[in-house]
Amino acid sequence: MSENPAGRRVALVCSNFTMQSAFGLLILALNSARLGYETMIYFTFEGLNMIRPGKLADLRYYPTGVNPSEKKVEEYSAELHEQMDKKDIPYCEDMLEMAHHEGVRFLACKTSADLFDLEQKDFMEGVEIMLASDFLKQATGSDLHMVF
């Protein structure tokens, strides 16, 4: 991780659990951390699955216009993994681990965690459970805000 002389901060929010959301989120989080920016991701609703051990294996790719119940989703997901292998692009599981090791803060929405009966033990190590109001206090004034 680089120095952050300008005090730059990036706040990202993840409420979805799809391969395309995870991919975009993690690429931006990793690059933000590598630029030396203070980076945080607030995971809420279905996005909580991103930071639950073993759940990333369930990520699927849902191309625009494809019914999520279609069997084709499995094919599209497998094809995307093949492309990632060919082009030496890391999987979301690897990018999440890299982001964690490179200092990206992982924050779990307390209300969503309560809704789904999730506790600290249900999340990967290092995840902070936080009320939305506390996240907003920390995210206010960030240089970049994005939602996935």
pLDDT digit string (tens) for 109-133? 999 999 999 999 999 999 999 999 9
Task: Give which of 106, 115, 130, 102 is closest to 52, Cα–Cα.
Answer: 106
pLDDT tier at 1 (50, 70, 90 boundaries)? low
pLDDT at 2 over 70: no
pLDDT at 20 over 60: yes
The half-sphere exposure of 15 on its side-chain side, counting CA atoms within 13 A, is 7
Mean pLDDT, range 71-89, rounded to an integer: 92
Indicate the pTM of the whole model.
0.92
Q: Is the CB of residue 12 less than 8 Å from the CB of residue 38?
A: no
Which class is domain 9-61+91-147?
alpha beta
Q: Please give the pLDDT value at position 72.
A: 85
pLDDT tier at 54 (50, 70, 90 boundaries)? very high
Q: Of the ranges 4-13, 47-56, 66-75, which is most confident?
A: 47-56
Q: Please give the pLDDT value at position 71.
A: 78
What is d(CA 114, CA 10) in angstroms, rounded to the nearest whole number?
26
Mean pLDDT, range 40-59, rounded to an integer: 96
What is d(CA 144, CA 115) in angstroms, rounded to the nearest whole number?
28
Report residue 37 as tokens.
């920016």
Task: Give which of 51, 16, 45 is closest to 123, Cα–Cα.
Answer: 51
pLDDT at 15 over 60: yes
